[in-house]
Structure 1
């Protein structure tokens, strides 16, 4: 019993801090809940307070992330998602790999990394987390289209980034060091196999989850017991992850995305959900909120302040380059996709997408899972944690100003530029 009490005390302390932060945010509509939580966690680290809770890659990627992902997918407006599916897929499937390549090349010059280390850093740091900005979107009543596009892109690019990262790590481990891994990927055949492997693992994971989710969706429609539906969603969320990741060797996170999308899909809008569906969605929303709360505080608290200061120039430069690379992918890809869309996404919305690309949960999880033999591992991890802090605190806290500058703080205007 003694072993569990300190852990319980730490969790209670985190929720007590979160309660105070939540009350503060309720009084100040221009503050982001996630941003303030991370800032508080960083303050805790500066003060030397130890919660006794250690973040690990398995805890984030296999235990906590599926909760956030499943809740995000089941909560999406299905009709709005269909309208913007082409853009979301382009941004995740084309935009993320393109961003990894761009940031990888820039990283060799800016940080002096080898190409493989620079690509690994890019694959780790670029996945986005929209939770910090979506809460502000709700406060400012930003249109559904922008919210769904940003969240849908994030849900997909998390899975794509994990697949790209895993493939790069496998290439490093199978080759003779970083130089051998880059040389192996530089040949046309190996590059083609790399792309094929990413597509197979990612697409296979999504397909597995979609099948599981659709079958569960049909079954849930026959149930009237909301607790039974709740239990079924837990089995689907984590069962699809385990089936894909452990049994079939494909992407578990994308399986959870596929399962959530297909299980949460229904013919009517979310305003006309059945009572069991509404209850389950509320429970998942609370679960994701609690998980995110703990994660944001622990991410801030896990920062090694001494290393953060030591590599401060790299952290700031990396944060700037991440925003630059996101701009270099968002603007051209959205502009190109607008040509085939009946309702093009306006430029002011693209500004929000660039600035709203925060990088926290998945980047931290991937950074912690870097193999010990990777060159510059400590530097990369420090930079990723630093970018997470800078992005969620600076970009998150400045998001209200960006919303005002683009006119998205006015509900009538934001809906007119859906």
Structure 2
């Protein structure tokens, strides 16, 4: 993308963010995607394209870091069992059940159905967390939604990669092998993130200029991601762990408040700018893949996706931390799809494997993502108010 195009996209994002004065019922990312769909019909924006590499290595590290850094550690401790179980066991159950159901109603086989389910499993609640807080005043449910989304990306990538290899016949599936790879990738990523986050929390005291402290946080966000990926573990979890470690270290003493204020100022601006560009271009990108022939399948899969998420969320919460059916309903509806699903779709699109229905999966996936972003985010506020009155 040219610099002129980036500036125009930022200007459009600025206008939309400015309209959202109360940050209440106005899900900005969803509006950005819908505006992007409109921009796709203007020839000037033809060069606004996303690749899986750009999402993964440019946008994700920063967005994950700011989410993790701003996530209150006390909330994670309080809800750790339900967050971790939803981000691991819940994800696997979702893929297995949804994949099977998809294979029953579509031209896909069982493995291809599971692959599509893996694409539609990671959640992206950036559109709804603030809406839940404003609509209900309930911090716990917002924290669970936010915490799950930070951690389930890593699980989803491992599942997707494994299923894609099986579907393209690059290797067979072995549960012990999958479990071993999952533990190695996950634990390795977390350890790298925690170590680097701790080191940076110590080094930052040698930088008395806040501009250099901010520079160090950028190095941490992208450095943790790159180092982890280079050694074959999860860059996603490394960045999340490093952000949470920084948040933990800065929260231990009041004298660290000036560090937090400096980082807050920068990362809030960076997050808004990245989200504006990303969701506008997602809207432009997915327009090329929307076909009438996919909509009936997409609507059915969207309905199954919501149903399966409700079942798995209810089952997991019953075991690890009982939640009321009202909480489970909101957790289900807040599991809308976004950045990570688009990354996985583009990864499959780039592979273009002839041995699977890749074009069909890509087209249906993009349509489901659009349905999820619009329907779920636009109805989140009234649903939250109705179930959990403030």
TM-score normalised according to structure 1 size: 0.86
Corresponding position of 2:181? 197
Q: 2:364 aligns with which of 383, 395, 402?
A: 383
The 5 Å alignment of 1:288-367 reads: 288-304=271-287, 307-338=290-321, 345-367=323-345
Of 44-53 and 275-284, the range deviating more from structure 2: 44-53
Q: Does 1:369 align with 2:347?
A: yes
**Are residues 315 and 337 of structure 1, via their aligned partners in 2, closer, same or farther at CA, if it must alter by over 3 Å?**
same
- In structure 2, the CA distance between the partners of 1:146 and 1:361, relative to structure 1 (3 Å rule), is same
Residue 207, structure 1, aligned to residue 152, structure 2 = no
| Equivalent-residue separation in structure 2 for 1:98 and 1:271 (angstroms) | 42
Shift of 1:378: 1.1
TM-superposition CA deviations, 1:113-134 (whole Å, max 9, x none): 1222111111111100010002
3-state SS in 2 of match to 1:50: helix
Deviation at 1:195, TM superposition (A): 1.6
Aligned partner of residue 303 in structure 1, secondary structure? helix
In structure 2, relative to structure 1, the CA distance for the partners of 1:364 and 1:267 (3 Å cut) is closer
Work out the CA distance in 2 between the residues paired with 1:56 and 1:250: 21
Whether 1:287 and 2:270 are equivalent positions in the alignment is yes
Deviations 1:155-184 (A, max 9, x none): 100111112212223344553xxxxx5xx3
Equivalent-residue separation in structure 2 for 1:375 and 1:390 (angstroms): 24
CA gap 1:243/1:130 in 2 versus in 1, 3 angstroms: same
CA contact (8 A) 1:74 1:281 kept: no
Equivalent residue, structure 1, for 2:239: 256
> C-alpha separation between the residues in 2 aligned to 1:159 and 1:222?
33
Gap runs ≥5 in structure 1: 1-5, 176-180, 339-343, 411-418
Deviations 1:268-287 (A, max 9, x none): 37998521221112211221
Q: Secondary structure of the residue that 2:20 maps to in structure 1?
A: helix
Cα separation, 2, equivalents of 1:103 and 1:72: 28
Q: What's the secondary structure of 1:266's corresponding residue?
A: helix
Q: Does 1:404 align with 2:385?
A: yes
